[in-house]
Amino acid sequence: MNDSRFDSLCEFQNDFGDTVHAAQVVFPDKLVAPFVQIEADAKDVIAHRDDILQTLLRYGVERRIAVKLSHAARKGRAKTALTPELTALLQEKGVPEWYVSSMKKIDYLFPKAHATENCIQALRLTWYQAHTIKHYFDVLDQFDGALV
């Protein structure tokens, strides 16, 4: 894997914020395997619905086709949507084979806004746990350990 560094928490969230939350996103074996086999950057990971659309547009795929494929992939329908003709078109445009095969493995992708909200909630919980630990655990005790 390339040496990937994140300049901010937002950049990290944009790349990986949803991979731990989605249903069979390209993680763990589906995320790591492409990086072991090829030279790729962390920014190439499909983590959100938006990633597929933006990547296909960046490779020069027509917007109508990119939208169709990104919607199909986010719902787990890329296997049927990626006809041999569309697969050939993606290869012609230079989309890596591992990216296309990763799209086929996705069952569902959450929107980036959903992942962002999850990251914000995790930051809030971490802050309260670090700075008001007594109150944090007092609130947890009110739930009879149901959240622990």
Residue 86 near residue 22, CB atoms below 8 Å: no
| Segments forming the whole domain that contains residue 69 | 22-111
Residues of the chain with pLDDT under 50: 1-3, 18-35, 148
Write down the pLDDT at residue 144. Answer: 66
Write down the pLDDT at residue 112. Answer: 78
**Does a structural domain hold residue 80?**
yes
Write down the pLDDT at residue 1. Answer: 41
**Does a structural domain hold residue 117?**
no
**Is the overall model pTM greater than 0.85, yes or no?**
no
**Does a structural domain hold residue 146?**
no
**Does a structural domain hold residue 8?**
no
Q: What CA–CA distance (Å, rounded) separates 50 from 133?
A: 37
**Does a structural domain hold residue 136?**
no
Q: What CA–CA distance (Å, rounded) separates 44 from 38?
A: 12
3-state secondary structure of 6: coil
**Does a structural domain hold residue 47?**
yes
**Does a structural domain hold residue 124?**
no
How many domains, the chain?
1
C-beta atoms surrounding 97 within 10 Å: 12
Write down the pLDDT at residue 38. Answer: 58
